[in-house]
Structure 1
Amino acid sequence: MDTIKNTISFIKDTFNSNEFIPLHEPRFIGNEKKYLMNTIDTTFVSSVGAYVDSFEEMMQKITQTNKAVAVVNGTAGIQVALRLVGVKANDEVITQALTFVATANAIAYNNASPIFLDVDADTMGLSPTAVSNFLEEFGELRDDGCYNKKTGKRIAACLPMHTFGFPVRLDELIKVCEKWNIPIVEDAAESLGSEYKGKPTGSFGDIGVFSFNGNKIVTCGGGGAIVSNKEVLGEKAKYLTTTAKKPHPYEYYHDELGYNFRMPNLNAALACAQLESLDAFLANKRNLAKEYTNFFQKQNIQFRTEMTNTKANYWLMCVELENKAERDIFLKETNAVKVMTRPIWQLMFRLPMYQEFQRDHQKNALFLEERIVNIPSSVRTS
């Protein structure tokens, strides 16, 4: 109990507040109001406008990719990305059970099935070893791709998620997936600003997808982005997310099923201003992570830090407690005094709509589910 009291006191001092301390609240410290008012003045508040174009250019530069496409949210982005790499109805997609539900939902929206494989204990993201072991047991290469010998279905994609902004072991995962002819879509929703071996997350797979939800490191209320180094995929993403409309001065002609997944110019204006502050936000959060590291070392609590050869954005910071009982006490005591903490997500196969899908032992995921707690991680203003 002394450890929890010390933690509560430290967090209140760190955020200089005795009021409610949220998990991660947005900060608007730049040109947000200016750009929003400019958008209103132009009357281009919907899905066409200069700020949509600027946002896509900024994301292309930040992620070091050849094409970026603004979309309405990250979930929609993943849904489209999976379709772009060839996921069809009755296919399967390898992913992790330790993730936010949107990852699995995006697979289901394509009428495909998830295969839930274990995470690495240190990265908390999809384990290349688990993927390799599964494919060695169940994979079968055919002329048109990799098939699951147990279900007879095609394994059409691999969807790792960079948990809380900590990159998965991308080199190893790419090597495994190349061997089995499986394209990778990076769920980089939480990892804007994170790097793996000096390169931005989202730039390694065939496609990467980011989120700009209200609780992300950079937000525009909602919003997302699809990025790719394959320009043909990026162009197709733009086309599909704008209702698959063929360009024409005035005629409406749509030659395949598309989506109205466009980001409004109003949201893009907010996003552009936020992206201008990204470097400052990242530096601010790294300083907070250092302070947490020093504090929790003295409390004999493990604070999660970035792995070798990676740079984490420290979107949501977290501690690992001894067991579920300790976790539950920590959650109860902190939230009782308005210090917001949250457990990691329940594993996807516990949810009613995902209980019946194939999975492996989930050893690390089960361990983490019982122990990981997110703590206040906002950019500090003082």
Structure 2
Amino acid sequence: MSAALVGFIRELYQSNEFIPLHAPTFAGNELKYVSETIESTFVSSVGKFVDEFERKMEGFTGTSKAVATVNGTAALHAALYMAGVKQGDYVITQALTFVATCNALYHMGAEPIFVDVAKVSLSLCPVALDNYLTENAFCNETGCFHKANKRRISAVVPMHTFGHPAELDELVAICQKWNIILVEDAAESLGSYYKGKHTGTIGELGALSFNGNKIITTGGGGMVLCRDAALGARTKHITTTAKVPHPYEFFHDEPGFNYRLPNLNAALGCAQMEVLPSFLQQKRKIAEQYQQYFANSEFNFVTEPEYAQSNYWLNALICPDLASRDQLLKVTNDSGVMTRPIWKLMHRLPMFQHALRDSLVVSEWLEGHLINLPSSPVAQHG
């Protein structure tokens, strides 16, 4: 299987060179818009492309307000801050995630509680969440609290793993039942939809990432999606140093963040938004070809949940066992085709090893079975 897979991927991408996991694709007006920004000299926090990028994202996702930030971690940090997460709070999330999810919590002085994921979505499991809260929490008119130490559980943060949407209706219902706010880590899921609604717009707030390995990139960059327009306006204020508009005076009415996305990066983002629909089409075609390739094998290609439309940001394959996973990783990477195991689970990292958690049975099983396959739009190599 391993050598044959290398041949299949090389044929898919029409390349005998190194094939990355997910490379940026520049197929439109990127150079034109970035050059325009440089020529204007407005390369930093002031310029037309920041506003335009936010408007494009509002139109694409259907959110009330989109707020551009310097990276995805900053977007998640700002979203959690606006959700009211405080120092000393618990925030429930998944151990199967990229470390940025937990880094945002750490720098707020909050602590994660790790709850298992569901096999259908690879994202936070509603059954596991409800079971954990039933066993370990109590709720009153002021919020949700942990039984053991009475610390507040202020938020639940599902991460839409590899672009596959979590079971959001169920998660929303549980959060309402337990008086907890839902914040979506949608860093990987631009272009993914849950029952026709874009990810990141169903919780109170959501966070996107435009890192170089995402479906579109601004080099670095992120976006806070705000369901409520007034909350969005305040998020914009907070992330731009809380400066009160004035022709020349500098007055800041509360502590804020300097999380503004530079105009230079936003120019790149505006161009990428113009070709995003074609990227999504190409990535679905790639996913379909992977699915067909593995259809009659002992390997299980991860497909979108039946309730969702995924962007297939990173294609994922479930191997029969750890030995076959490790062999596939070695042969492909030795052959210049980049594949990767899933992230080291968060509770295995030294800074989060003492965090509260449930059994994480599914997460730990996936850790030993799942790899990611090259997922760049074909245009990158065509």
Q: How does the TM-score come out when normalised to structure 1? A: 0.98
Matched, 1:310 2:335: no
% same residue: 52
Trace 1:136-151 onto structure 2 (pairs within 5 A). Answer: 136-151=134-149
Report how many aligned residue pairs link the two structures.
380
Report the equivalent of 1:241.
239
1:116 shift after superposition:
0.5
1:244 shift after superposition:
1.3
Trace 1:285-324 onto structure 2 (pairs within 5 A). Answer: 285-324=283-322
Report the equivalent of 1:187.
185
Report the equivalent of 1:200.
198
Report the equivalent of 1:362.
360
Report the equivalent of 1:334.
332
Q: Alpha-carbon deviations, 1:352-372, whole Å to 9, x = none?
A: 000111000001000101111
Distance 2:86 2:98 in 1: 22
Which residue identity does 1:73 align to in structure 2? N
Which residue identity does 2:352 align to in structure 1? Y
Contact 2:65 2:229 in 1 (8 A): yes
Secondary structure, in 3 states, of the residue corresponding to 1:298?
coil
Distance 2:13 2:296 in 1: 19
Distance 1:118 1:377 in 2: 26
Q: Alpha-carbon deviations, 1:326-382, whole Å to 9, x = none?
A: 111111111001100000001101000001110000010001011110010000023
1:299 shift after superposition:
3.1
Secondary structure, in 3 states, of the residue corresponding to 2:139?
strand
Q: Alpha-carbon deviations, 1:189-220, whole Å to 9, x = none?
A: 00000000011001100001100000000001
Report the equivalent of 1:228.
226
Structure 1 gap segments, 5+ residues each: none
1:151 shift after superposition:
2.5
1:123 shift after superposition:
0.7
Contact 2:298 2:320 in 1 (8 A): no
Distance 2:59 2:189 in 1: 15
Choose from 3, 6, 17 the match for 2:4.
Answer: 6
Distance 1:141 1:299 in 2: 48
Q: Alpha-carbon deviations, 1:109-138, whole Å to 9, x = none?
A: 110010000000121100111110011111
Which residue identity does 1:102 align to in structure 2? A
Matched, 1:379 2:377: yes
1:141 shift after superposition:
1.0
1:5 shift after superposition:
1.1
1:301 shift after superposition:
1.4
Distance 1:64 1:230 in 2: 12
1:255 shift after superposition:
2.3
Distance 2:229 2:158 in 1: 22
1:300 shift after superposition:
3.0
Superposed CA RMSD in Å reads 0.8
Secondary structure, in 3 states, of the residue corresponding to 2:357?
coil
Higher mean Cα deviation, 35-44 or 277-286?
Answer: 35-44
Contact 2:298 2:319 in 1 (8 A): no
Distance 1:138 1:44 in 2: 52
Secondary structure, in 3 states, of the residue corresponding to 2:295?
helix
1:91 shift after superposition:
0.6
Report the equivalent of 2:123.
125
Distance 1:367 1:90 in 2: 31
Which residue identity does 2:46 align to in structure 1? V
Report the equivalent of 1:50.
48
1:237 shift after superposition:
1.1
Distance 1:321 1:89 in 2: 40
Trace 1:255-294 onto structure 2 (pairs within 5 A). Answer: 255-294=253-292
Secondary structure, in 3 states, of the residue corresponding to 1:176?
helix
Distance 1:250 1:158 in 2: 41
Q: How does the TM-score come out when normalised to structure 2? A: 0.98
